[in-house]
Structure 1
Amino acid sequence: MKTYLTLSAIALAAAASLSSGVASAADAAPTEVPAITVTPNIGVVSDYLFRGISQNNKQAAIQGGIDVAFKEGYYLGTWASKVSDWTSGPKGDNAEVDLYGGYKTEVASIGVDVGVITYNYPGSSSGSLDKSNYHANTQEAYLGLSYGPATFKTSYVLGKNYFASTGGKDASGTLYYDLTLSQEVAPKLTAAIHAGYTDYRLDYQSNVDGKKFSYADYNVGLTYDYEGFLLGAKYYFNDVSAGTKYYANAAAADYGNGKSNLYKNTFVISVLKSF
C-alpha cells in the first residue's frame, strides 16, 4: 500500500521549495534531461501506515523499490514492504509488492499525474485459514494535480477487492481523496500535512457487518535531508467510524501479535535513501 508521498516525491517537493525565489530559470545553466532515469530506494519505518491504518501490526518494516522515469513524462516502478498476517492474510507471505505506471506533465503551471497501481500480496489468493481468497489484492487508477506546495490526488478502485474488506463482494468505485501540503521551512527541512478520505462504495459505504466504513485520516510530519538520507517523523490520527474499527482489528490469534487498534493515533519515524 504505497504511500503517496514517496521518497522521490518528498525530495522533489524539497527541491522545488529550494529553487523558489532563489534563482530564476534564466539564471540556471541549461541541463539535458536524460532519456531514462532509474532511481532505486530503500528505507526503514517504525510502523507502516497506509491511509491511517497500520499494515504491519504496529511493528517496524523494511521497504524499498525502484522507479524508472522517461524524459517524455512516462514512468513505471515497483515497491515492496513487509506486512502482517492481517494485511496479507493468515496464510499469505507477509509481503506487499506494488506495481505502478503513469504519465506526468504540466499544464498551465499545474502538475498532472495520471496512472494505475496494483497492490499485490503474494499468497493472499489462498490467504484465509481455509485457504480461500483473502481478497487483499487491489487495483486503482489515480489522478493527481499539484500547484506550488499543494498536491491533490484522487484514487478510484477498479476491481472488486478493497484490501481484504469486501468478503468477496464488490467494492469497485471506492474513492480515496488525498490532499497534501509540503513546504521547506528551513534549509533541508520540509514540513508536510495530509488529509485523506476513504469513500467506501460497498453496501452504501458500509462494510460486511453493516457498519459505516468510510473515514478520514490525517498526518503531520517533518523530513530532514541529511547527506542524502531522508529522516522523517510523522504523527497520524484518524476520524474513524464503527465500521473502520471493526475492519482494522487484528486481535485474533491468527493475525500475528494480535493488535486490535491498527487505526489508533500513532507516531512514526523513518529513514529513507534513494540512489
Structure 2
Amino acid sequence: MRWAVVGVALGLALAPQAHAQEVAPSAWSGNVAVASQYVSRGFRQSWGQPALQGGIDYASPSGWFAGTWASTVSPYFVEGGHVEWDLYGGYAASYGDLHYKAGLYYYRYPGAEVSATRTSMNYGEVVLGIDWHDWSLDYSLTVTRDFFGYNSQTLGLGQRSHSRGSGYLSAGRHFDLGHGYALALHYGWQRVNHFSSYSWTDASIGVSRAFAGFDVTASYSRGWNSAGVFRDYTTGVPDAQGRIRTSYPIAGTWILTVGRTF
C-alpha cells in the first residue's frame, strides 16, 4: 500500500526526478531507511511505532524497471502480519518534459490473514502515471479479487461481493526551496469498489534535505473517511494480555524518516 514506491521506480528509470538521485551505471540501486512510523495512503500501518524499510531496484536504459521494497508493519493493523513486501515491474519513458510509466505492483503480507474467514491480505494493482515538471499523477487499479482483504465476509456487508476494481488516485507537487531543501505535497483518493463507506481520502506535506549522504524527511499526514468506519479500527484479535487493540489509523500524525540510497 505504499504509494511512494511508484515515484521511486520512475525516478530510478528517468533520472533526474524530484526526489531521486542519479542511477549508477549498472542500473542497480538500493535504499534503506528508518522511520518513526510507516504511513501509507494515510494509514499508520506500524501502529505509531518505528519502522525499518529497504528495497532494491533495477532500471534498464531501455526504460524497463523492476524492484522490491519492504517495511515492518504491526500485527495490530494487519492481523498476523509483521512485514509488507512489495514486488513491482513495468516500463517508463519520456516525451519531451512529459514522463510516463505503467507497471504491475503486488503487495504481500507474509503470514497475515483475516483468521475468521481465512482471507489473505495480499493484493495486486496495475499502476499508470505521468510526471510533468514538478507535478505527478498516478492511478492504481486493483486487479486481484480483493483489495487488502476487503470483501463481504471480512466486512460483513453485502453478499459474496469482492473489491476488485478498487482504485487509488494520487496527485503530487514538488517544490525546490533552495539551500538543499525540498517541499512535497500529496493528495490521494482511495475508492473501495462495492464498499463505498470504506473509501477515503488522504493528504500529506513534507520537507526533506540531504545531510552527509543521508536523506532526512519530516512530514505530516492524515486521512478522511466520511462514514467514520475507521475510528475504532481493530483486527478483533486479543494481544498477549488479552486486550483488543483499537486506534484511529488515519488520524493526523507526524513522520520523521532518515534514509540512504546507494
Normalising by structure 1, report the TM-score: 0.81
**Displacement, 1:188?**
1.6
Q: Matched residue pairs, number?
A: 247
* Runs of at least 5 residues in structure 1 that lack an aligned partner in the other structure: 17-31, 206-211
**Displacement, 1:252?**
4.3
Question: Structure 1 residues 249-258 or 134-143, which shifts more?
Answer: 249-258
> Is 1:73 matched up with 2:63?
yes
Letter in 1 for 2:4: Y
Question: Structure 1 residues 237-246 or 63-72, which shifts more?
Answer: 237-246
**Displacement, 1:87?**
3.9
What residue is the counterpart of 2:2 in the other structure? 2
Check the 8 A contact 1:52/1:218 in 2, yes or no. Answer: yes
What residue is the counterpart of 1:24 in the other structure? none
* SS of match in other structure, 1:12: coil
**Alpha-carbon distance change, 135 to 244 in structure 1, aligned in 2, over 3 angstroms:** farther
> Is 1:146 matched up with 2:136?
no
**Alpha-carbon distance change, 66 to 7 in structure 1, aligned in 2, over 3 angstroms:** same
What residue is the counterpart of 1:249 in the other structure? 233
Structure 1 segments, 4+ long, off by >6 Å, are none
* SS of match in other structure, 1:261: coil
Check the 8 A contact 2:207/2:218 in 1, yes or no. Answer: yes
* SS of match in other structure, 1:104: strand
Question: Structure 1 residues 3-12 or 235-244, which shifts more?
Answer: 3-12
Q: How does 1:32-51 map to 2 (within 5 A)?
A: 34=25, 36-51=26-41
State which of 121, 124, 128 in structure 1 corresponds to 2:114.
Answer: 128
Check the 8 A contact 1:160/1:169 in 2, yes or no. Answer: no
Q: How does 1:137-216 map to 2 (within 5 A)?
A: 137-166=122-151, 167=154, 169-203=161-195, 205=196, 212-216=197-201
Give the CA RMSD over aligned residues. 2.7
The CA distance in 2 between the partners of 1:112 and 1:64, in whole Å, is 25
Deviations 1:96-150 (A, max 9, x none): 11100011101242100110100001112xx3345x5233101000111000110
The CA distance in 2 between the partners of 1:231 and 1:113, in whole Å, is 27
What residue is the counterpart of 2:157 in the other structure? none
**Alpha-carbon distance change, 172 to 129 in structure 1, aligned in 2, over 3 angstroms:** closer
Letter in 2 for 1:123: G
Q: How does 1:263-274 map to 2 (within 5 A)?
A: 263-274=250-261
What residue is the counterpart of 1:262 in the other structure? 249
**Alpha-carbon distance change, 98 to 255 in structure 1, aligned in 2, over 3 angstroms:** farther
State which of 97, 100, 103 in structure 1 corresponds to 2:88.
Answer: 100
Deviations 1:192-218 (A, max 9, x none): 000000112124x2xxxxxx1222100
> Is 1:84 matched up with 2:63?
no
Percent identical across equivalent pairs?
26
**Alpha-carbon distance change, 33 to 271 in structure 1, aligned in 2, over 3 angstroms:** closer
**Displacement, 1:33?**
8.4
Deviations 1:200-252 (A, max 9, x none): 2124x2xxxxxx12221000010111122110000112222225426x70274
Check the 8 A contact 2:214/2:260 in 1, yes or no. Answer: yes
Answer with 1 or 2: which has the greater Rg: 1
Check the 8 A contact 2:28/2:58 in 1, yes or no. Answer: yes
Letter in 1 for 2:249: L
**Alpha-carbon distance change, 109 to 7 in structure 1, aligned in 2, over 3 angstroms:** closer
Letter in 2 for 1:268: I
The CA distance in 2 between the partners of 1:251 and 1:121, in whole Å, is 15
What residue is the counterpart of 1:114 in the other structure? 102
Normalising by structure 2, report the TM-score: 0.85
The CA distance in 1 between the partners of 2:94 and 2:130, in whole Å, is 9
Letter in 2 for 1:148: H
The CA distance in 1 between the partners of 2:62 and 2:76, in whole Å, is 40
* SS of match in other structure, 1:85: coil
* SS of match in other structure, 1:159: coil
Letter in 2 for 1:149: D
